Structure 1
Amino acid sequence: MFSRAGTDSRTTGGPAHGVTRSVTYGLLLPLTAGALVLAGPGQSGAEAMSVCSGRPQQTVRFATGELRVFKNRDYACAITVAKKPGAKRTMSVSLQARGASPVVDKGTFTRQAGPVTVHALNRCVRASGAVSGKGGSTGWILC
C-alpha cells in the first residue's frame, strides 16, 4: 500500500503550497501596478466619476454647478459638483429621506460637496445643492 502522508501539498501545506502562493503574489503586484498606470490621471470638473454608488437618478443643473442624485437598492446618495473647479468657495449638498432629518455637507471646497447618503428603501427623498450661493433642488423623488 502507498502512504499519501507528506506527498500531497494540498492537504499537508508542503513546499508546493508556498511556491504557488509566491507565484500568485508575484504576479498580482505587477498586474495591479500596470492597471493603475493604464488608468491614468482622473478626469476633472463635471466629467469626474461620481463617488456615489448606484445608478444616476436625477441631475439638476444651475448656474455655478450641478446636483447629482444616485440610488442603489437600499440607499440614495447626492453630491454637488462645481461647474468650474479651482478656487475654494462655499458649497453645500443636502439629502433627506421622508420622515428623517436631512444629511448635510456644507463648507468651502474646490470641486464638490458630498457625498451624503441616506437609507431610502421604499422612501422618497429630496435633495438640494448650492455652489457660491446659487443652487437647485429636486423636490420629493424616487417615490
Structure 2
Amino acid sequence: MDRGAVRRRLALGTAVLTVSGLLAVAAPDTAEAAASCAGRVVRTLPFATGSVSVHRRGGYVCAVTAPAHPGAGRTMSVGVQARGGRPVVDTGTYEDRAGPVTVHAGQRCVRVTGRVGGGSVGSGWILC
C-alpha cells in the first residue's frame, strides 16, 4: 500500500471519529434515555408526568422511565415483569430517567410500570 492510500485512510478515520464525538456531545437527554436500552422501541406508555419506553431485542425486554420535564430530582421508578417471573424494579430520586431495567421474557407476556412524582402508568400484560 502506498503512502497516499495510508494517509487517505487515516484522514477518513479521523473524520469519522470527530463527527461521532460531536454527535455524542450534541445529543439531547431524551436520546440518551432511549439509547440506554438495546433493541427497538415496541411501546411508549405516556402519562401526565412522564413516559415509559419499552424496548425489545431477541428474548429480552427493557424499559426506561423519563419525566416530561427533566431537571430537578424527583422520585421515579420503572419495572418490568415477565409472566411467571419476579419484577425487576429501579426506584430512586433521579433528574432525567429511571432504569434501564431488563428481563429475559422469551415469548412470554410482560407487565411494565412507571412512576414520576405523583403520576404513574401500568401496562397490564403486553407483547404476548
- Aligned position for 1:127: 112
Q: Name the larger-Rg structure.
A: 1
* % same residue: 44
RMSD (CA atoms): 2.3
Say if 1:99 and 1:25 are closer, same or farther in 2 by CA, change over 3 A: farther
Letter in 2 for 1:72: R
Query: 1:74: how far off?
Result: 1.3
For 1:70 and 1:35, the matched residues in 2 are separated by 24
3-state SS in 2 of match to 1:138 = strand
Query: 1:132: how far off?
Result: 0.6
- Aligned position for 1:6: none
Q: Which of 109, 123, 128 matches 1:138? A: 123
Structure 2: gaps spanning 5 or more residues: none
Matched, 1:114 2:84: no
3-state SS in 2 of match to 1:36 = helix
Mapping 1:41-80, distance limit 5 Å: 41-44=26-29, 48-49=30-31, 50-51=34-35, 52-80=37-65
Letter in 2 for 1:124: C
Quick check: which one's strand share is greater?
2
Say if 1:116 and 1:24 are closer, same or farther in 2 by CA, change over 3 A: same
Displacement over 4 Å in runs of 4+: 20-27
Structure 1: gaps spanning 5 or more residues: 1-15
